[in-house]
Amino acid sequence: MIEFDNDFTWESDKSIDEMMQEAYQKILLEKENGVSGYFTLGEDSLEIMEDALAYAASNEFIKKSDTIVIIGIGGSSLGTKAIDSIFKHQNTDVKKMLFLENPDEIDLSEKLASIEKEKTLFIIVSKSGSTIETISIFKEIIERFSLDFADGDKSRVTTITDEDSVLHKFSKYYGIESFLIPSNVGGRFSVLSAVGVVPLAIAGYDMKSILEGASIMAERFFTKKENHILKKAVFLTKHKKETPMNVVFSYANCLEDFTKWYVQLWGESLGKIDKQGNHTGLTPIGHIGSVDQHSFLQLIMQGPRDKTVTFIKVDNFEKDIKVPDITLKFIEKTDYINGYSFNELIDGECEATKESIVKEGINVDAVTLDVLNEKNIGKLIMYYELLTSLCGIMLGVNTYDQPGVEIGKQILLKKFTKSS
């Protein structure tokens, strides 16, 4: 179960209901016209999950492997990494997942040195099939591990890409197993497509429950049972000039990669030039509580009033570790927490921080998960994707493109083609 509540300061404005209704009709049209296909991935990806499980069951090499290496960047890895980070501590029998994302020589060297070829499945993820970081790392893997696709090594590699991409053509040429991303699902919205479902299902995670949670959230939203998402989108976009930044404080270390996924989803979807030619957007900032209370909270409390804050917390971590009833000489003032669980401590810090921010007149909302389970995370993923689409609609931008990113890719190409 997930609960949503907010402490937004709403002005009396009859146009709010009209804005909500207009945004709802537009997102409904996006769904019906297939503008983006993520809305129905909760149901659509069940088949590809079964295909992935059947593929893994029929591949003797995968049965013996204990590690999956994901070669991808951005939307091709962040969502998968987020789900792995949340649940790997709960599942000791899943395959280890390693992510090769950034062409950083130190990071690459350390991670590649830890890989055992005979126990590793390599999954290359690229929607376009030619992502320069991804393919460059793939080339290094081919050379380092002497992969010969004509001599049996094709069973060690799987690709996830678009049907018409050059990576798919490469896969067909060598007989490498390839899973397809729907053409109308962009990278940052793709975690519930083959991008996340295939590697996570092969690793042993319960993707069926994650997809079910996403499907429930989508169905409830489109039957107007989750109107708080519309209200939040209206509030954030209506006040984009006064509070253009949204800070997400996730009170669980295992949600750190989820928070990074949110930052990409929000930033790449909403930072655009709108239909009137104005530069617009909402800036995402991701933090982990209580750690970042000791770094960023001061700025929120007494710095510029240009932020809204979202708290994500977990009611029950299901561990029950208590603070020992120990008194330390000269440090007796900390004894008030003795005997309480660490779960109670971190939740108390979350509530106290939230209350202090509200008292400062800063607009705050909260997302509370009763437990960290697959269904809840599926709901949370769909919640943020729907919220992003609604904000894009209200900002008057194309939520699903990224022309600013493409400019940098073109400049990079020119730099290297000139020097070669």
Residue showing tokens 């945004």: 23
- Residues ≥6 apart with Cβ < 8 Å to 418: none
Q: Where are the alpha helices (DSSP H) in 360-402?
A: 374-395
Catalytic residue among 268, 374, 375, 385: 268
Pairing of strands 279-280, 364-371: unpaired
Cα 23 to Cα 227: distance, rounded to the nearest angstrom: 11
Structure-token pair, residue 254: 């295992």
Residue whose C-alpha is closest to residue 206's, from 41, 382, 377:
377
Catalytic residue among 294, 329, 359, 418: 294
Q: Which amino acid is at 376?
A: N
Q: What is the dihedral of CA 244, 249, 255, 260, to 10 degrees?
A: 30
Q: Are 93 and 147 in contact (CB under 8 A)?
A: no
Residue 110 is a catalytic residue: no
Omega cis (within 30) before 85? no
Omega cis (within 30) before 155? no
Write b or e for each residue in 263-292: b if 16 or more Cβ atoms lie within 10 A of its Cβ, otherwise e.
Answer: bbbbbbbbbbeeeeeeebbbbbbbbbbbeb
Structure-token pair, residue 412: 């990079």
Residue whose C-alpha is closest to residue 364's, from 295, 315, 303, 312:
312
Residue 409 is a catalytic residue: yes
Residue whose C-alpha is closest to residue 271's, from 399, 107, 120, 168:
399
Residue 239 is a catalytic residue: no
Structure-token pair, residue 24: 């709802």
- Would you name the residues annotated as active-site residues? 268, 294, 409
